[in-house]
Amino acid sequence: MKSSEIPTAALVLGVNVTDHDLTFKGLSEVLQDGVTPFVVSLRSKECPGIKHLMQKLLTQLMGCHVDMDSANEEECPLISPNRIRCSVASLTDWYMNVTKKTDIGTPCQKRASPPRHWDTPPVVVIFQDMESFTTKVLQDFIIISSQCISEFPLVLIFGIATSPMIIHKLLPHSVSSLLCIELFQSLSCKEHLTKVIDKLLLTSQFPFKLSDKVLQVLINIFLYHDFSVQNFIKGFQLSLLEHFYSNPLSVLCCEPQEARKRVNFLSHKQCENIRRLPSFRRFVESQVSNKQTGLLTDDGCLKETVQELLQDLHSYHDNYFPILRCLHVLTLSLPKYPLGKQIRELHCACLEKKVWETEEYESVVQLVRMLAKDELVAILENCREVIISSPAKHLGDSAEKLEEYLGRFRNLEETNDDQEGSVSSVKEIQKKTDLYHLQKTLLEMKESRRFKKLTKFEMLRFEVVDFIDSLVRKHLLPAEMQILHEMVYFSSTHILREHLNAAPRVALHTALNDPYFYLKNEALKSDAGCISNTAPDICIAYKLHLECGRLINLVDWLEAFSIVVTAAEDPNSTAKDQVDDIIHARFIRAVSELELLGFIKPTKQKTDHVARLTWGSC
């Protein structure tokens, strides 16, 4: 790097722009804790010009200095933002003044030790949305900063959502040559989502779970709308809130020890709610008559049974997730990923139905039975590590079984019978080169392969596949088959769609057609098909425009609006009465708002008409 170049980091974050604020916030905290206290974060909307950029830069830097040094205004006259001169000279003077103080032993020096190639902490300027900055603002700032790089150290960080090539598109070569650019690529938003799901959902540490349909709704919103991990977490929080707010039995969605204590304090009404659960009703129907009577009439018997069932549900989760990860490890080594490349896809498939009854699972089993020895051994080692690291106590025997299979693979001596047979066949073919004998020999080889005896490796491979298949069939049952799953699983997909999948046209029609639905004002109540004069002006204009055709006469629309508005004031008023200026202004404003919302537009067919853009009631 040349001495006149500005060290610059091009940080490619991806298209999930809504998560960038959180990323830069964390980056600023890391830099302030370990590199320098002088970190400035800028946005394009705050810096329309170079003057605004310099003012924002100086304001943030001085605010950071005051917080850490608590200096008096008499000692540092540049502290007041009102006296900031938006110039590089002011920035240089401030930096020289601050670094002199930090040499004495201020909190700035204790907090961040400067890098080796700098005597003082650098000033880090973060451009969060580099693509949105005006080209002239960036060029001017870089050119000015390059002239003063010898007086104070400066580091730039460009936040990029698309491609690093945007730097060379926005900046000419004369400006970009002043930067020493280093490219940094963040993890993709899909990888972040995988980590979030792995820590929140694919663990038995947290009792709250999402059903397959709810999880699929959140994943679809992520993949097809915004790629925002933060919005996915908000959707998860909404599900958590709705589950504990709307489900009375969510009081038992807690740790097993706490759940057993809470069961003893259940009221009779809560016991009745348990008896109404579909999964519990199936459980009661499978019991003998005496047990059924006790569960349906005796609260004490019910509480004892519920404690046992909750423990079974917890054990189910302890066993489910390790086996799920083992199956995922198994499918990752197969071509085309029959059960999905991501573990969330496999999780949704297992929650939806019995995964071993699907065609994809059958293809997985067939492909695994053709794996080579080294591939199969690597898979078994990964599965053993997953099971050993899991908290499930009942899977200890499975880990020992996998260790036994690994030992048998290590000690397996491959026979050379098949190889010798194939060599002798080749020699026989070489001796008989005529077409008749060649065809005859190939047919004999084909028949011998069809009825050949399995080798020891092939027999052991079949045994391993059958063992893994038995674990899948035993522990990867769908959650809906578990008793009392309603207490810990949230399955109301319509609530998520209502809050997260916005339907703006339906919401607008509801608000304009029935303002009471949102405002909850008794004066706004009206019969269906009626137009109330107490409604907001835009609601009156909207209902009147629904009665018109493709073109709407503004004069007729205004007269109808005036009649509705003045009906309560003067019942004897007619359309022939002159419309006063106030009603005229209210009508113009209502029509302008409808045009802004996209319900109407001006038309050149008739000067006093507007065209309607929507049809139907919503």
Q: pLDDT tier at 614 (50, 70, 90 boundaries)?
A: confident
β strands within 161-284, DSSP E: 179-185, 209-210
Nearest of 32, 48, 9 to residue 160 by alpha carbon: 9
Nearest of 161, 146, 130, 143 to residue 17 by alpha carbon: 161
For residue 218, the model assigns a pLDDT of: 95
Query: For residue range 54-86, what is the model confidence (pLDDT) as tens digits?
Result: 888 888 887 644 333 433 444 344 444 444 466
What order of strands is seen across the sheet that includes strand 609-612? 551-553, 609-612, 600-602
Q: How far apart, in whole angstroms, are the C-alpha atoms of residue 144 and residue 53?
A: 12
Q: Where are the alpha helices (DSSP H) in 103-211?
A: 107-111, 135-147, 166-170, 173-176, 189-200
Q: How far, in Å, are 362, 456, 469 from residue 459 at the CA level?
A: 19, 5, 15
Which CATH architecture fits 6-186?
3-Layer(aba) Sandwich (3.40)
pLDDT at 107 over 70: no
Query: For residue range 392-447, what is the model confidence (pLDDT) as tens digits?
Result: 777 888 989 999 999 988 887 554 444 444 444 444 444 445 666 667 776 766 66
**Residue listed under structure tokens 């399955």:** 491
* Burial class (CB within 10 angstroms; exposed 0-12, middle 13-18, buried 19+) of 306: buried
For residue 447, the model assigns a pLDDT of: 63
Q: How far apart, in whole angstroms, are the C-alpha atoms of residue 422 and residue 442?
A: 11
Query: For residue range 338-382, what is the model confidence (pLDDT) as tens digits?
Result: 999 999 999 999 999 999 999 999 999 999 988 888 999 999 999
**Residue listed under structure tokens 């999930």:** 16
Give the contacts of 306 (CB within 8 A, at least 6 positions apart).
Answer: 252, 263, 266, 274, 484
Which tokens hold the place of 613?
């853009």
Q: For the whole model, what pTM was predicted?
A: 0.76
pLDDT at 569 over 80: no
How high is the mean pLDDT of the chain? 84
Q: How far apart, in whole angstroms, are the C-alpha atoms of residue 408 and residue 411?
A: 5
Question: Where do the structural domains in the chain lie, given as residue ranges?
Answer: 6-186, 192-410+476-489, 415-454, 504-612
pLDDT at 573 over 80: no
* pLDDT over 70 percentage in the chain: 84
* Burial class (CB within 10 angstroms; exposed 0-12, middle 13-18, buried 19+) of 527: exposed
Q: Does CATH place domain 504-612 in 1.10.10? A: yes
Query: For residue range 411-426, what is the model confidence (pLDDT) as tens digits?
Result: 875 544 444 444 444 4
Query: For residue range 166-203, what is the model confidence (pLDDT) as tens digits?
Result: 999 999 999 999 999 999 999 889 999 999 999 999 99
Neighbours of 227 (CB within 10 A): 21
Query: For residue range 574-602, what is the model confidence (pLDDT) as tens digits?
Result: 444 556 889 999 999 999 999 999 999 99
Angle, helices 50-69/88-102, rounded to nearest 10 degrees: 20
pLDDT at 531 over 50: yes
Cβ atoms of residues 98 and 104 within 8 Å: no
Query: For residue range 145-173, what is the model confidence (pLDDT) as tens digits?
Result: 888 888 888 999 999 999 999 999 999 99
Secondary structure in 3-state letters for 482-499: CCCHHHCEECCHHHHHHH
The CA-based angle 359-361-366, given to 5 degrees, is: 95
For residue 240, the surrounding DSSP H or E stretch is helix 229-246
- DSSP state letters, 502-537: --HHHHHHHHHH-THHHH--GGG---TT---TTS-H
**Residue listed under structure tokens 């298209």:** 15
